[in-house]
Structure 1
């Protein structure tokens, strides 16, 4: 066999071997890519994303699109070829697997956590929107979860409204733990509650929780060693949270989406539905950001992928959480203008500038 032919054959065989190895060898990485965007003012799967009952609503044009990121599953293991392709591609990001699924979290656990965060973000989006419109919302402290096998099991239930602990009124979830930990393990603590059934009936009727208040005495236990920091901390085995009573019904219908990052865009969609005129002036605006009950906008993950997804969907402006601005500004897709926001009020002010054509006054993002 001629030397040149032998060399070419050997090179081909080496290349084939390398490609096979690249396909077979798994690496501890995961991939993020742009996910779908959804107009909160429009429909998804044939029904409105935002549905309001018991309050006058107004037609809204334009777009207020929430954005998403696709990620590979917890059980999926990329091979070398896929990882290299992802690193070279502009419309995807390869990150360590533990970044998306820390501490060996399974896909089922991640899905459940994302669903819970999504539900909470919807609740906060409603509260923030109504507060921005000066519409009163009643807030109460409730039992969020009861730990199985804890002193509270079968005594307190998820949804019970906590009015007081040892006769001291509670105004926020942190008050409950503070009052319980004033005791030593083995002490009795008395909760004054409105049972979940009575609270749910009142909430369904649009009233603040009411009903016969009950006093329930619970004997505290010692916190597990891993949680008490070396101290004999008393616990009752519940997690306190907040619940809200809205003066009318607001439903957010969107399947197969998780996490808290759509909060800002849901709030803006609700405001647009409840006020005359168009918040966007008919423009295509997308964005992202968590939101709390007070209207503060928080950072999210996957910002670069969300920018690409928004641009590809047709967005011209992107509402960007302040804490994400530097990384977003490092690689802005052509034709997309980043708008920095810290609060819901910032966002509504910027939308006013967009619809009036005063875009030179928009707060921008920079890499510095």
Structure 2
């Protein structure tokens, strides 16, 4: 009896059919994984431009910077610290959000452990961020008073910004203290009347350190009217190209930031990224 062609066929045909089945079956785990990934939360946080706050102004019902033991100047212009807004570590981040974030310039997809301390609850992370902010405020105050040659036992500075965590506002706090107590050193404002934004950690000796999310912060700064953005020099490459109308000024120290703002106010040469 002649075998039915639909059951057997030539050896070559049987091998081709076998390969087709193998390919089709081999694709099942991949499809299944993609389907699971679409519904399972992923270990990422999606960040976007956050709030900006003028450290020369008020926030939460009081002055961001207040002092005792020294006269405070009336200032013009703004010095804006900038934050990013990141999804919480317990947020359900899906594959669609991650893919979308990779293709958008106003989003950044970051590994969770690059944004939040690993192995901690949300409450512990919040406490950690507050502790970082308080430490940053102390360093910013010390750096500013040292720059101005003011004795910390005579001049007391209080910084109020309770709803933002982390150390990245240090530079702007120091500049705000300098502007409120001494201005540009020649009777004018350190801002030159402009809206200046910036980011960067600072230590007690006035050294400026890099921070995360600088490209997103430039977007928030421009959105809120800044024309100049002070950025840690090590992050110059990350923030380019800058949003249209925003001038990038790299800094490494508080002294360098003050000198750059003085030159900017006078129309002198200022370093750029």
The answer, yes or no, to whether TM exceeds 0.5 is yes
Q: Does 1:73 align with 2:88?
A: yes
Higher strand proportion:
1
TM-score, structure 1 normalization: 0.61
Q: CA deviation at 1:21?
A: 6.7
Tell me how far 1:286 sits from its aligned partner: 0.4
Question: What is the CA–CA distance in structure 1 between the aligned matches of 2:84 and 2:253, rounded to whole Å?
Answer: 23
Report the Cα distance in structure 2 between the residues aligned to 1:41 and 1:83, rounded to whole angstroms.
37
Matched, 1:105 2:16: no
Work out whether residues 307 and 333 of structure 1, in 8 Å CA contact, stay in contact via their aligned partners in 2. Answer: yes
More helix by share: 2
What residue ranges of structure 2 are gaps of 5+ in the alignment?
1-33
Q: Which residue of 1 aligns with 2:111?
A: 96
Please report how far the alpha carbon of residue 105 of structure 1 lies from its aligned counterpart in structure 2 after TM superposition. 2.9
1:271 aligns to what? 178
Q: Distance in 2 between matches of 1:76 and 1:59?
A: 44
Q: Please identify, of 248-257 and 115-124, the stretch whose mean Cα deviation from structure 2 is larger.
A: 248-257
Deviations 1:152-190, CA, capped at 9 Å, x for gaps: xxxxxxxxxxxxxxxxxxxxxxxxxxxxxxxxxxxxxxx
Change (3 A) 1:101 1:254: closer
TM-score of the two chains, using structure 2 as the length reference = 0.82
1:255 Cα deviation after fit: 1.7
For 1:337, the equivalent position in structure 2 comes to: 247
Count of residue pairs brought into register by the alignment = 238
Q: Distance in 1 between matches of 2:261 and 2:242?
A: 20
Question: 1:304 offset after TM fit, Å?
Answer: 0.8
Query: Once the 2 structures are TM-superposed, how far is the Cα of residue 25 of structure 1 from its aligned partner?
Result: 3.1
Secondary structure at 2:47 match in 1: strand
1:64 equivalent in alignment to 2:105: no
Which of 246, 253, 260 is the equivalent residue of 1:350? 260
> Is 1:362–2:270 an aligned residue pair?
yes
Match of 1:84 in 2: 99
Matched-pair contact (CA < 8 Å) for 2:75–2:189: yes
Shift of 1:131: 0.8
1:86-106 superposed Cα distances (whole Å, 9 cap, x missing partner): 222221101122222353332
Find the counterpart in structure 2 of residue 312 from structure 1: 223
1:166 is matched with: none
**Helix, strand or coil at the partner of 1:350:** helix
State the distance in 2 between where 1:301 and 1:110 align.
16
CA RMSD of aligned residues (A): 2.0
Runs of 4+ deviating beyond 6 Å: 19-22
| Equivalent-residue separation in structure 2 for 1:43 and 1:91 (angstroms) | 28
User: Is residue 233–residue 250 contact of structure 2 (8 Å, CA) maintained in 1?
Assistant: yes
